[in-house]
Amino acid sequence: MNKEDKIIIRKATFKDLRACAEIFRIESAKSPYNKKKTPKKALEGIREDFKGNDIYVAIIDNKIVGFIMVRVDSGIKNQLWINELWISKDYQGKGIGKSLSLEIENIYKKKGIKVFKLVAHTRKGGAQGFYRKLDYNLDKSMVFMEKTIV
């Protein structure tokens, strides 16, 4: 991507979901996420998520290179959750994730959303650092707990 390449951000259509699923399938298979999915399973998951979330895509040269998935919190007024943000490897580190995030903030701020929340992986990966650069802060009011039953 060159500086003159223009990023187009728009709300995803049903036709965009295959490209989003492929980005998700490839990038989430890597460490630290290690989610191994077949193309069919990834597409099924994205299609299911499309029913209850808003998905926005980043396009460069008519190619979807990333997406962000968000949902307005039904239980807490003026709050939105960023559920997924994935960028194709060849386009990472070029400001696309930042552009998607800032565009979401602008769109939903106009709709009255004041709080943007997300869960970032604590292991390697760069999600926490990425969001800290966008002025997201650690929310110490929540703790994720887990129990594995064998």
Give pLDDT tens digits for 7-64.
Answer: 999 999 999 999 999 999 999 888 778 888 999 999 999 999 888 899 999 999 999 9
Cis peptide bond upstream of 39, omega within 30: no
**Using CA atoms, how far apart are residues 71 and 131, in angstroms rounded to an integer?**
18
Tell me whether residue 43 is in a domain.
yes
- HSE of 60 in the Cβ direction (CA atoms, 13 Å)? 21
| CATH code where residue 14 lies | 3.40.630.30
Tell me whether residue 147 is in a domain.
no
CB contact at 8 A, 21 and 45:
yes
Tell me what pLDDT residue 122 has: 64
CB contact at 8 A, 100 and 11:
no
Tell me whether residue 3 is in a domain.
no
Helices (H) and strands (E) in the chain, counts: 4, 5
Tell me whether residue 91 is in a domain.
yes
Measured at the CA of 16, the angle between CA 25 and CA 71, to 5 degrees, comes to 80
Tell me whether residue 56 is in a domain.
yes
Domain count, the chain: 1
Measured at the CA of 10, the angle between CA 4 and CA 12, to 5 degrees, comes to 130
Is the per-residue pLDDT at 2 higher than 60?
Answer: no
Domain encompassing residue 28: 8-133
**Using CA atoms, how far apart are residues 67 and 12, in angstroms rounded to an integer?**
8
Tell me whether residue 81 is in a domain.
yes
